[in-house]
Amino acid sequence: MSAIEEKPKYWSFNELKDFYQNTPNNLRGNRLLDILRWARGNGALIVSKNVFPSFGIRGRHGKRIMSVWSPEISHPSMPPGTIYIFINPKTKFGGSLEERDAFLEDLNRLTSLGFGDISDNVAGKNSAKTIDEQTEEEFSSFMEILSRYGYR
């Protein structure tokens, strides 16, 4: 497993892949590998500069719609495997309010990640549950939502 840096750095695809492949929580690591590979394969991967392993997902308007946090080590306010969505269309999300609302509604209806209600004044929200707390069906739905709203 890659060592955690003391200073922020850009985490490459290969560093993230190695980190996820060596994660003790196999379910979390495998799901994060699935998301990472999907993002790279669809041109949606945004490398992130961070102390902790993380990456972003580019939405269909070219802006970041979510960040994915590391499997075992994470920001103190975000448990490992947390998904952070950007929901302010003026800053990151990039789509219309209707598209943003449909994206959030899909996430809340088809997964148990638990983003809840939003406010137009909120830049983004952490998931209430981690990616490995999803059932197989919910994770499949999550990947389908990525294919609808992610860059392609």
Give the model confidence (pLDDT) of 97-151 as tens digits: 888 889 989 999 988 888 887 765 678 888 888 899 999 999 999 999 999 999 8
In a domain, 137, yes or no: yes
pLDDT of residue 134: 93
State how beta strands 49-50 and 124-126 pair: unpaired
Q: How far apart are CA 104 and CA 17, in angstroms?
A: 27
pLDDT score for 121: 60
Q: 2 lies in a domain?
A: no
Answer with the residue of higher pLDDT: 80 or 68: 68
In a domain, 119, yes or no: yes
Q: Looking at the domain assignment, is residue 4 inside a domain?
A: no
Examine residue 3 and state whether it is found in any structural domain, yes or no: no
Domain that holds residue 81: 9-149
Look at residue 1 and tell me if it is in a domain: no
Alpha-carbon distance of 45 to 13, in angstroms, equals 9
Between 70 and 67, name the one with better pLDDT.
67
Choice between 1 and 41, residue whose per-residue pLDDT is larger: 41
For the chain, how many residues are written? 152
pTM attached to this predicted model: 0.88
The mean pLDDT value for 59-70 works out to 88
What is the pLDDT at residue 86?
Answer: 87
**Spatial contact of 152 and 60, defined as CB atoms under 8 Å apart:** yes
Q: Which residues contact 128 (CB under 8 A, 6 or more apart)?
A: 113, 114, 115, 116
- In the block, which residue shows the tokens 């060592």? 3
Strand (E) or helix (H) holding 9? strand 9-10
Tokens found for residue 44: 């949606």
The number of folded domains in the chain is 1
